[in-house]
Amino acid sequence: MIKKKLSIIGFDDVSYAKFLDPPLTTIRLNQKNKGIIAFNLLNKAIHGESVDKITNLSGDLIVRESVTNVASKIGKQARRKNEK
């Protein structure tokens, strides 16, 4: 199975992400806030105001089955090394 070997994370929580096999872990952005930020940046640019080259957007991590538990694997590896 894929999730035992690698993790896959999508972006924007597209509607079909939860129906994939395995269901896709994703970052969900608030679309309304994204639109407001885009409008404000465009409005500033139109009016000749300075616009930041980088804009940070916050989002929510929606954990589904497409990621492996890295922390538990690291812990298992450390325990194995200590047992030797």
Record the tokens describing residue 63, joined without a space. 């954990």
Name the more confident of 48 and 6. Answer: 48
User: What digits encode the pLDDT tens for the residues 23-82?
Assistant: 888 899 888 999 999 999 999 999 999 998 888 888 888 888 888 775 555 455 444 444
Amino acid at 73: K
> Which helix H or strand E contains 82, and what residues bound it?
helix 70-83
Record the tokens describing residue 62, joined without a space. 């929606």
| pTM: predicted TM-score of the whole model, two decimal places | 0.59
Which pLDDT score is estimated for 52? 85
Tell me if 55 sits within 8 A of 39, measured CB to CB: no
Tell me if 66 sits within 8 A of 23, measured CB to CB: yes
pLDDT at residue 18 is higher than 60: yes
